[in-house]
A and B are shown apart, each in its own frame.
Chain A
């Protein structure tokens, strides 16, 4: 043993002292790691993490969501693409029927739904919405040559076709509309067939924005502009609750999109029949930024 080397006992003491100092530090680190894990667990992994997001959309609504030769198009589709591009993700569209829009999200079959999905107080309890990206009243579509229906009372005793899972059905269930013979078919296509081909229906009722889309592919049909029902439908991009940070990113992207010229360009490209029929279409269909703030990513509307 060299004279300069410390005695063994002193060496042990030194090592023990270092170990005692290290223990609290290790405990603190473990605590910090556990806290970080717990905090991370409250917000699951971002929906945009891998850059691909599954989006439920309609396939039978020309102008809003339709599939032609395996390709999705329409305003719902364009809005989804633009908003997701802003958050660095790309949509992977899949078909979702109206009545399954909430279920595909809660069952984790889709990440988002962009399918003319109206924001309601009941739905906000179950799902988060980024929206509205468009607002529209419920209206009436008739055969172009049928001039019997001009005002709301003209529909008394007439057969009006709707399809399940929509707010259109809910609105027409009100007591003030009990004189209208409302009936349901499984989907929009069946109602269009009833109106156009078999003439079982005198009119089809759903949101005017959707109806104008139908007229783009069905020249024999037209929207009655002066008949609207209920309050304005506000369409939002829906997601399962628990992804609030992702929702807020979508909301911010939507605010920018609505405030830019892109919204008007994309809307008039997808739904070209609306600017032709309605001179105030931007005022009527474009949402206000305050409404986006009031309805986006909340459990109930902000008042």
Chain B
């Protein structure tokens, strides 16, 4: 008996063409990548890419709390470290090692750039220093109990749909009897197109207003509630625009 498995199928399992043209293409791509990765000129490419992204991000650095850049920082660090490792590996013995380093570096660079863009578009913007106060202080429980906080157009240049506000309320005279335990403030939004959202907060408290559609100015009314004879100072210690 001739033929059988030996004739028709003996070399089938070792034949690269057994799975069709896709396998040939994959093999070719793999060879090209390995050739490129192992090429001396490709050593610096991931590092140059990572550095370029860091420099561009640095020049266009937006405001806001540092914690929101944690993901970007981690990915940028990872891309720089892996790219540097690739550069230092001058005579690679294993293509898989340098390939992995280059791939991780490029992916981290791309991921970091996307994270940075996300923060730029939706991240928090600290506008504490741009809040203007209208009204006379100290506030009391009688005639002078209201204050207006204003955010003008330049502060609202980058569109965000919410504002987080933190108010410090302190005794006007710290040497006089303290009124802090008996003091609260009702904070309301006076911006057209947005609900007032009146919220009562204690000294040092935070309120989050939904601003809705793009607004050109933000007006906030602060109404003090305190005990008889108390005179208090109100100060904005935090104003952060963000997206809900």
Interface residues of A (CB under 8 A from B): 118-122, 124, 137, 167, 170-171, 174, 228-234, 290-291, 294-295, 301-303
Q: Determine the distance from Cα of A30 to Cα of B231 in the docked complex, in whole angstroms.
A: 56
Q: Which residue of A lies closest to B174 (CB)?
A: A121
Whether a CB of chain A sits under 8 angstroms from the CB of B137 is: no
Q: Tell whether, in the assembled complex, residue B175 and residue A301 are in contact, meaning their CB atoms are under 8 Å apart.
A: no
Q: Which residue of B lies closest to A290 (CB)?
A: B181
Query: A121-B171, A231-B230, A303-B204 in contact; A291/B179 too (CB < 8 A)?
Result: no
Interface residues of B (CB under 8 A from A): 169-171, 173-183, 202-205, 227-231
Q: Which residues of B contact A295 (CB under 8 A)?
A: 178, 181
Closest Cβ–Cβ distance, residue B176 to chain A (whole Å): 5
Select which of B174, B205, B229 is within 8 A of A137 by beta carbon: B229
Q: Tell whether, in the assembled complex, residue A234 and residue B176 are in contact, meaning their CB atoms are under 8 Å apart.
A: no
What 3 A-B pairs are tightest by C-beta distance, nearest first?
Answer: A294-B181, A301-B180, A303-B203
Known contacts A228-B228, A231-B231; 9 further A-B pairs (Cβ under 8 A): A120-B171, A120-B174, A122-B174, A231-B229, A233-B177, A291-B182, A301-B180, A303-B181, A303-B203
Q: Which residues of B contact A228 (CB under 8 A)?
A: 228-229
Query: A302-B181, A303-B203 in contact; A232/B176 too (CB < 8 A)?
Result: no
Q: Determine the distance from Cα of A303 to Cα of B170 in the docked complex, in whole angstroms.
A: 10
Query: A167-B175, A170-B173, A303-B203 in contact; A121/B228 too (CB < 8 A)?
Result: no
Q: Tell whether, in the assembled complex, residue B180 and residue A230 are in contact, meaning their CB atoms are under 8 Å apart.
A: no
Q: Which residues of A contact B177 (CB under 8 A)?
A: 118-120, 167, 230-234
Closest Cβ–Cβ distance, residue A206 to chain B (whole Å): 13
Q: Determine the distance from Cα of A48 to Cα of B229 in the docked complex, in whole angstroms.
A: 38
Q: Tell whether, in the assembled complex, residue A119 and residue B178 are in contact, meaning their CB atoms are under 8 Å apart.
A: yes
Specify the main secondary structure of chain B where it touches its partner: loop
Q: Which residue of A lies closest to B170 (CB)?
A: A121
Q: Which residues of A contact B230 (CB under 8 A)?
A: 231
Q: Which residue of A lies closest to B232 (CB)?
A: A231
Q: Determine the distance from Cα of A120 to Cα of B176 in the docked complex, in whole angstroms.
A: 6
Q: Which residue of A lies closest to B169 (CB)?
A: A303
Closest Cβ–Cβ distance, residue B204 to chain A (whole Å): 5
Q: Which residues of B contact A119 (CB under 8 A)?
A: 177-178
Query: A121-B180, A291-B181, A303-B180 in contact; A231/B228 too (CB < 8 A)?
Result: yes
Q: Which residue of A lies closest to B229 (CB)?
A: A231
Q: Tell whether, in the assembled complex, residue B179 and residue A231 are in contact, meaning their CB atoms are under 8 Å apart.
A: yes
Q: Which residues of B contact A121 (CB under 8 A)?
A: 170-171, 174, 178, 180
Q: Which residues of A contact B182 (CB under 8 A)?
A: 291
Q: Which residue of B lies closest to A294 (CB)?
A: B181
Q: Determine the distance from Cα of A174 to Cα of B175 in the docked complex, in whole angstroms.
A: 12
Q: Which residues of B contact A231 (CB under 8 A)?
A: 176-179, 227-231
Closest Cβ–Cβ distance, residue A173 to chain B (whole Å): 9
**A–B complex contacts, Cβ < 8 Å, 13 sampled:** A119-B177, A120-B174, A120-B178, A121-B178, A170-B176, A231-B230, A231-B231, A232-B228, A234-B177, A290-B181, A301-B178, A303-B202, A303-B205
Q: Which residues of B contact A290 (CB under 8 A)?
A: 181
Q: Which residues of B contact A232 (CB under 8 A)?
A: 177, 179, 227-229
Q: Which residue of B lies closest to A207 (CB)?
A: B177
Q: Which residues of B contact A229 (CB under 8 A)?
A: 229
Closest Cβ–Cβ distance, residue A119 to chain B (whole Å): 6
Closest Cβ–Cβ distance, residue B205 to chain A (whole Å): 8
Q: Tell whether, in the assembled complex, residue A234 and residue B178 are in contact, meaning their CB atoms are under 8 Å apart.
A: yes
Q: Identify which of A118, A167, A234, A301 gathers the most chain B CB atoms within 10 Å of its CB.
A: A301
Q: Determine the distance from Cα of A232 to Cα of B228 in the docked complex, in whole angstroms.
A: 8
Q: Determine the distance from Cα of A295 to Cα of B171 in the docked complex, in whole angstroms.
A: 14
Closest Cβ–Cβ distance, residue A289 to chain B (whole Å): 11
Q: Determine the distance from Cα of A233 to Cα of B170 in the docked complex, in whole angstroms.
A: 16
Q: Which residue of A lies closest to B231 (CB)?
A: A231
Q: Determine the distance from Cα of A294 to Cα of B178 in the docked complex, in whole angstroms.
A: 11
Q: Determine the distance from Cα of A287 to Cα of B123 in the docked complex, in whole angstroms.
A: 46
Q: Which residues of A contact B183 (CB under 8 A)?
A: 303
Query: A121-B171, A303-B204 in contact; A230/B229 too (CB < 8 A)?
Result: yes
Select which of A137, A167, A294 is within 8 A of B180 by beta carbon: A294
Query: A301-B180, A303-B181 in contact; A120/B227 too (CB < 8 A)?
Result: no
Q: Which residues of B contact A302 (CB under 8 A)?
A: 181
Q: Determine the distance from Cα of A303 to Cα of B202 in the docked complex, in whole angstroms.
A: 6
Q: Determine the distance from Cα of A174 to Cα of B178 in the docked complex, in whole angstroms.
A: 15
